[in-house]
Amino acid sequence: MTWFPVDNLLCRVLAITITLWLTLLLVFTIVPAVLGVSLGVRRLYIKTLLKIFEWATSRMEMGAKEKNQELYKPYSNGIIAKEPPSSLQQEIRELRGSCCLRSEPEFEMGDIFYFCRRGMESIVDDEVTKRFSAQELESWNLLTRSNYNFRHISVRLTVVWGLGVLIRYGVLLPLRVTLAVTGISLLLVLTTLVGVLPSKELRSFLSEKIHMLCYRICVRALTAIITYHNRQNKPKNGGICVANHTTPIDVIILANDGCYSMVGQVHGGLLGMIQRAMVKSSPHIWFERSEVKDRHLVAKRLSDHVADKTKQPILIFPEGTCINNTSVMMFKKGSFEIGCTVYPVAIKYDPRFGDAFWNSSKFGLVNYLLSMMSSWAIVCSVWYLPPMNREEGEDAVQFANRVKAAIATQGGLVDLIWDGGLKRARVKDAFKEEQQKLYSKVLVGEQELRDQSEDKHLEEENPEEISDQNSSKTQGQQ
């Protein structure tokens, strides 16, 4: 009989705890998300973290000096100090020297030193492979997965790191998981209900409100602080929004400030459920795996969508894969072949609070999301660039490169020509053939230059003879 009062007390305490937890969740998160307002708690939290990081960095440097240790510093500009890039022809000619011109094109054994040097540089300081690993930090952010074991340098630093682990996994992670489940559940249920409404106008209106509500809840589930710049350039209906791609959360970051029609491949599991629910209430474009390879089908569906000015702008990530927040890689030309306005957007994450990059070849989506939710926060800036249109005489590749360069410049990212598909695939034969063509031009080009210089010398000495020869050649061709 003495166990019943204890059981009742435990049940009451548990009920009070759950009620208090849900009340705080409703008042401080869901209600502000519905109203689209911020109470300023997240920004105060970020300012506090910055002060803690500054203190931790100073303690780390002091502890390293006491133990005569040298702190690890990443190579921000690469391992190899490289000179400004020059053409292959110029470097080969400099390697051969001035006495290399021959009467006939000929291979020089010394040319292989150029290719050996470039190959070793690519292996040691590979500018492609390192774009698919976590971005290195100048200072420690008290996260074990982002740097070395700096927590063992001093006792105070170890205590602060331990408290951070308790806060992130004991308080923030349960809160964020609850918010994420709430946002995803509301999205699944409400979009399904709205999808059965007969009125297209009412369905479109409610769908936009529901998507904004759920995205705002998911943003709070990541403790995301987003700064939007130049909102007058926000994408409009009948256009395509293109952005650099770091993480699947890019979709939530952008959709938190306006609704978009998504384009992507059909998935299974939880992501597939979300896709099927979303398409019931708003015009998203999902492709089967076999349809993605049909470029004409993809282009037609995109063209039909942007032709309808009542539909939301399309959101596309032309890189096709996630890059580690340091650079922008090659844009696929498909979305730039459509004759419509392109709205570029640059997204840049602050790596001090968490690594937003998703290495899909190493981590699954669930593990990645848990890693994000156990970070300190997600802090990023979004720049809406002026709309761009394809110029006269400009092909899709040139247009894509121009948009990519604008995004890289605004976001402070490195503009790379490489295909992001190299993350999983081997180098295409076209890249190898391009280098072979460049080298062949070096061999043939020397002979052409020699012939041109000889013709010019002869013309200066005997201009009348050269003129007669040219006229006879012309008559012979006729």
Give me the pLDDT at residue 92, please: 67
Per-residue pLDDT of 363-397, as tens digits, reads 888 888 888 888 899 999 999 999 999 888 888 88
* Gap between the Cα atoms of 96 and 252, Å rounded: 55
DSSP-assigned letter for residue 138: S
Range(s) of the domain holding residue 187? 145-417
pLDDT at 306: 85
Q: Please name which of 56, 240, 232, 84 lies closest in space to residue 153, comparing C-alpha atoms.
A: 56
Q: What are phi and psi of 34, to 5 degrees?
A: -65, -40
Question: What confidence score (pLDDT) does residue 471 get?
Answer: 45
pTM surpassing 0.85? no
Cβ atoms 344, 405 nearer than 8 A? no
- The confidence score (pLDDT) of residue 370 equals 87
Instruction: Give the residue from 432, 29, 71 showing the smallest Cα distance to 222.
Output: 29
**In sequence order, which residues have a C-beta less than 8 Å from that of residue 379 and are 6 or more positions away?**
46, 224, 225, 349, 350, 352, 353
pLDDT of residue 147: 46
pLDDT value, residue 455: 53
DSSP track, 384-425: EPPPB-PPTT--HHHHHHHHHHHHHHHHT-EE--S-GGGGTS
Long-range contacts made by residues 351-354, C-beta under 8 angstroms, separation at least 24?
A: 351/135, 351/137, 351/141, 351/146, 351/325, 352/50, 352/53, 352/137, 352/139, 352/141, 352/379, 353/46, 353/49, 353/141, 353/377, 353/378, 353/379, 354/141, 354/143, 354/378
Is the Cβ–Cβ distance between 300 and 338 less than 8 Å? no
Q: What pLDDT is stored for residue 449 in this prediction?
A: 44
Higher pLDDT among residues 371 and 150, named by residue = 371
Q: How many domains does the chain have?
A: 1
Judge contact between 41 and 220, C-beta under 8 A: no
pLDDT tens track for 59-103? 777 766 666 655 555 554 555 555 555 666 666 666 666 545 454
pLDDT(434) > 70: yes
Q: What is the largest distance, in Å, between two alpha-carbon atoms of the chain?
A: 126
Above pLDDT 70, what percent of the chain? 72
Task: Assess if residue 66 is contained within a domain.
Answer: no
Residues 403/331, Cβ–Cβ less than 8 Å: yes
Say whether pLDDT at 244 is over 60: yes
| C-alpha pair distances (Å), 363 with each of 135, 165, 376 | 16, 21, 19
Residue identified by tokens 């293109």 is: 242
So what's the pLDDT on residue 143?
79
pLDDT: is 265 or 247 the higher one? Answer: 247
Contact 141, 376 (CB under 8 A): yes
Specify the 3-state DSSP secondary structure of 97.
Answer: coil
Residue 432 inside a domain? The answer is no
Mean pLDDT of 340-345: 92
Residue 242 lies in a domain: yes
Q: What is the pLDDT of residue 86?
A: 60
DSSP label at 150? G
Q: Which of 241, 443, 207 is nearest to 345 (CA)?
A: 241
Q: Indicate whether 47 belongs to any domain.
A: no
pLDDT at 104 over 60: no
Q: What is the pLDDT of residue 469?
A: 46
Percent of the chain whose pLDDT exceeds 90: 13
Higher-confidence residue: 289 or 203? 203
109-133 pLDDT tens trace: 767 777 777 777 766 666 677 777 7
Residue at 27 is within a domain: no
Answer whether residue 475 is part of any domain: no
Is the pLDDT confidence value at 159 over 50? yes
Among residues 339, 234, 393, 297, which one has the least CA distance to residue 243?
234
Q: Is residue 7 part of a domain?
A: no
Which pairing describes strands 378-384 and 342-349: parallel, antiparallel, or unpaired?
antiparallel
- End-to-end CA distance of the chain: give it in Å, rounded: 119
Task: Show the DSSP H helices in 293-347 as ranges.
Answer: 295-307
In the predicted model, what is the mean pLDDT of residues 397-402? 91
3-state SS class at 88: helix
297 vs 139, higher pLDDT: 297
Q: Is residue 70 part of a domain?
A: no
Q: Average per-residue pLDDT in the chain?
A: 77
